[in-house]
Each structure stands twice: as structure tokens, then as C-alpha cells.
């Protein structure tokens, strides 16, 4: 196993595995490994948080144990579960021997007490189906434990992680407490889709990973894709940075920039009309953007179509058109009768019928906001 004495030494080791980290980030990672504290990395998707754990496992000579989080994740997928098939096979193998011993107890009560006093080893480490968290705790060799996208789980899953992060141990009610047999390096990642609990953050070192500078991103592209020349890498990086300044649903990640740079290189090698970045720009958007609305907005902005580029933020007020009566002429006098302009008062516009405004007719929807006898609205009455 490899250890590091300083942040720059760790940064050089990561660079040899094509992971480019700035000095501050490398120092924080070094402190996490030296202090044996979990490291929580937060930031937008696709900035290299997961790749750090992979590179750290490679430079440290450790096995990577990954727990991919998702909504609905529970302890049976994160910690352990009992191997019921193996337990049943074990009982079937002992059935004949158990029958011979029970023959000495003609009474059912005596036979029951005899069985209760026996330990058949069904609830022991042998019959545990270990999951990533328990695997990292039981591993005799140090590992890198990656808890990826922890913000996708519920808060109950965060509570399950606390014992592992703080005490490096796992408690199983039927067996007892398993303490870590080696000290794992723990990396947690979050894409900031929700706020994590203070209890979880308190047990970790924290670092926010953002998009790299243009110079560093060009270096990352050329390191991960050596076939891409520096000019193409610079042009694609500049395009990606322009896109990130727009109000997109999903901004281009570093991996998508690498894909776009590779695509630009392939197109330019083919010659023809694909020699300049402007000519292949629309094709590269397929690698950089993953939503149709984002692609339409980018094309409108880059082509200078302000009508399509400017998003509508506020709907104009609805005003009823003025009604003008026919002109009546008497002699030389012209009288014009104009109906008054009717404007709907603010706050009394008809409510737009949507799923959100008309919830399902459940008990919660019926009783929400219906307290008080003076409301004049009964259960089931239409508003």
C-alpha cells in the first residue's frame, strides 16, 4: 500500500494516472488520507468527483469498493442481508443428526427446549451476504470506499452511514458489532440535488469541486484523449465554457467535453466541410447537450436570434379589448360612444387548471386548508 507525505506528491501521483488536480484540492485529499477521515465532495455532475476515487485507488494500490446510491436504497443493499438459501441448505444437512438427538425427548416441550438451547450457527458471519459498506469494514486489506451520489438517497440512509463514517464499524443485531479490520479511505460524492444533513457533514472533511479553469480543462482533455491536438482542445473547451454561461438545464461536463474533442478530431481527419469548429459546431452539440430545449436555446444564442434566445419569464397581463360603438352623425356633430376598457383586477385572474392546482381527491387534498366552521365550504364542495 502506498502512502503520501504531502499534497504535491499526491498530485503528481494522480497526474501519472491522468487525473489533473489543482494544488488546493490535492492538499485536501492528502489530509483526508493522512487523518483517515471521510472526504465529502460536492459540486455539479461531471467534474471529476467519482474519477478521484478511482484514481486514488489506483495510486494507493487499493481495491475500489463502490456503493452507488439511488432512491429507495436500504440496508439490505448497502450493508448486508442473510443468505437464506445457504442457511436452508445448512439446516437440511443437519436434519438427520437433529432427528437422532430429538429421539431421546418424547415430550414436545422437552424437544423444543433442547432445540432452543442449540447453536446451529445460522446467524454468523459465514451466512452473511456482504454489501459494499460491510465489505469495506471486513476487508483485511485497506480499500477505497466510494459512496457515490449520496444525495440521491433518503435521510434514513444517511443515518445508516453515520456509524460507518464515525466509528468505522457496523452493528448487526443477530451477531454483534464488526469493527474495521483495516482503515479504508472513504470518498462521498454529492451533485447538490438536495441539502445533506449536518450530522453527515460533521463527520467528513468537505470540498466543493467546480468546473476547472480553461487551462486546466485543456490539460485534462489532452491527458485523457492524447489523439486530440491542443488547438482542437482549446476550441472545444472555449465552446463548452460559453455554453456553461447560458441558463441550460444541464451544462456540459468534463467527460462530455472530452467526447466532443474526440468527435471534432475524427471529423477533421475526414476532411471535407469539417475543418473549422464553426462548421461542425451543431454536430458537437450532440456530445455536449442532452436536452432538446438546451440545444434550441444554444443555437438561437449562437446564431443571434434574440426572439428565440430570450426566455419568457413573465406572462403579460390580460386586458379585454376596447369595444367601440358605431359613430352617429347628427348634422355636423359627430358623437362617438366607446365602451369602457375592462381590465381584470390583479389577484382575480382565472386559475389555470393543472395537476398541481387540482390535486387528486385524497383525504389529504380534501382536508388541506379546510379547518374552521366559518369557511362556508363543505367537504366535497366545489370552489
Note the pLDDT tens digit of each residue in 61-93. 999 999 999 999 998 999 999 999 988 888 888
Q: Give 294-316 pLDDT, tens digit per residue.
A: 999 998 988 875 444 444 444 44
Question: What cell does 250 get?
Answer: 444541464
Instruction: State the average pLDDT over residues 367-377.
Output: 41
Q: What is the pTM of this model?
A: 0.73
Q: Give 373-382 pLDDT, tens digit per residue.
A: 444 434 344 4
Q: What's the whole-number average pLDDT of the chain?
A: 81
Specify the pairing of strand 39-42 against strand 185-190: parallel
Instruction: State the average pLDDT over residues 251-274.
Output: 87
Whole-number pLDDT of residue 1: 65
Ranked by mean pLDDT, which of 233-237, 317-321, 323-327, 364-368 comes out on top?
233-237
Whole-number pLDDT of residue 234: 95
Closest CA to 254 of 295, 218, 203: 218
pLDDT at 338 over 70: no
Ranges 250-264, 295-309, 348-362: which has the least confidence: 348-362
pLDDT at 145 over 80: yes
Whole-number pLDDT of residue 342: 46
Ranges 82-86, 247-251, 336-340: which has the least confidence: 336-340
Q: For residue 339, what pLDDT band results from cuts at 50, 70 and 90?
A: very low
Residue bearing the bigger pLDDT, 310 or 188 = 188
Tell me the C-alpha to C-alpha distance, in Å, between residue 297 and each of 250, 311, 369: 12, 9, 40
Whole-number pLDDT of residue 268: 86
Phi and psi torsions of 188, nearest 5°:
-115, 140
Instruction: State the average pLDDT over residues 181-210.
Output: 95
Cβ atoms 19, 61 nearer than 8 A: no
Residue 101's CB: how many other CB atoms inside 10 A? Answer: 12
Instruction: State the average pLDDT over residues 208-214.
Output: 95
Q: Which residue is associated with the grid cell 382536508?
A: 367
Q: Which residue is associated with the grid cell 352623425?
A: 329
Amino acid at each position: 500500500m502506498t502512502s503520501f507525505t504531502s499534497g504535491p506528491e499526491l498530485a503528481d501521483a494522480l497526474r501519472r494516472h491522468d487525473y489533473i488536480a489543482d494544488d488546493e484540492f490535492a492538499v485536501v485529499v492528502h489530509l483526508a488520507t493522512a487523518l483517515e477521515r471521510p472526504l465529502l465532495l460536492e459540486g455539479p455532475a461531471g467534474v471529476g468527483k467519482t474519477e478521484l476515487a478511482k484514481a486514488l485507488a489506483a495510486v494507493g494500490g487499493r481495491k475500489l469498493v463502490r456503493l452507488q446510491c439511488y432512491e429507495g436504497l436500504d440496508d439490505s443493499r448497502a450493508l448486508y442481508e442473510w443468505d437464506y438459501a445457504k442457511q436452508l441448505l445448512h439446516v437440511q444437512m443437519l436434519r438427520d443428526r437433529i432427528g437422532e438427538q430429538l429421539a431421546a425427548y418424547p415430550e414436545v416441550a422437552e424437544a423444543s427446549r433442547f432445540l432452543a438451547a442449540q447453536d446451529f450457527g445460522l446467524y454468523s458471519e459465514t451466512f452473511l451476504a456482504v454489501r459494499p459498506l460491510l465489505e469495506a469494514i471486513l476487508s483485511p486489506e485497506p480499500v477505497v470506499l466510494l459512496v457515490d451520489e449520496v444525495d440521491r438517497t433518503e435521510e434514513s440512509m444517511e443515518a445508516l452511514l453515520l456509524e460507518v463514517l464515525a466509528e468505522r464499524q457496523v452493528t448487526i443485531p443477530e451477531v454483534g458489532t464488526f469493527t474495521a479490520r483495516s482503515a479504508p479511505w472513504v470518498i462521498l460524492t454529492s451533485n447538490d440535488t438536495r441539502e445533506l444533513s449536518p450530522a453527515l457533514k460533521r463527520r467528513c472533511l468537505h470540498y466543493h469541486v467546480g468546473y476547472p479553469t480553461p487551462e486546466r480543462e485543456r490539460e485534462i482533455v489532452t491527458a485523457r484523449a492524447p489523439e486530440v491536438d491542443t488547438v482542437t482542445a482549446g476550441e472545444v473547451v472555449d465552446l463548452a465554457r460559453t455554453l456553461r454561461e447560458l441558463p441550460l438545464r444541464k451544462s456540459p461536463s468534463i467527460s462530455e467535453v472530452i467526447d466532443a474533442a474526440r468527435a471534432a478530431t475524427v471529423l477533421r481527419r475526414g476532411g471535407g466541410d469539417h475543418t473549422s469548429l464553426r462548421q461542425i459546431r451543431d454536430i458537437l452539440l450532440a456530445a455536449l447537450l442532452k436536452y432538446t430545449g438546451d440545444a434550441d436555446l444554444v443555437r438561437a444564442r449562437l446564431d443571434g436570434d434574440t426572439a428565440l434566445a430570450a426566455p419568457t419569464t413573465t406572462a403579460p397581463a390580460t386586458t379585454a379589448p376596447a369595444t367601440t360603438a358605431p359613430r352617429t352623425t347628427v348634422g355636423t356633430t359627430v358623437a362617438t360612444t366607446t365602451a369602457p376598457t375592462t381590465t381584470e383586477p390583479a389577484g382575480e385572474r382565472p386559475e389555470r387548471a393543472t395537476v398541481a392546482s387540482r390535486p387528486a381527491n385524497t383525504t389529504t387534498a380534501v382536508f388541506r386548508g379546510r379547518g374552521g366552521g366559518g369557511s362556508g365550504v363543505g367537504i366535497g364542495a366545489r370552489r
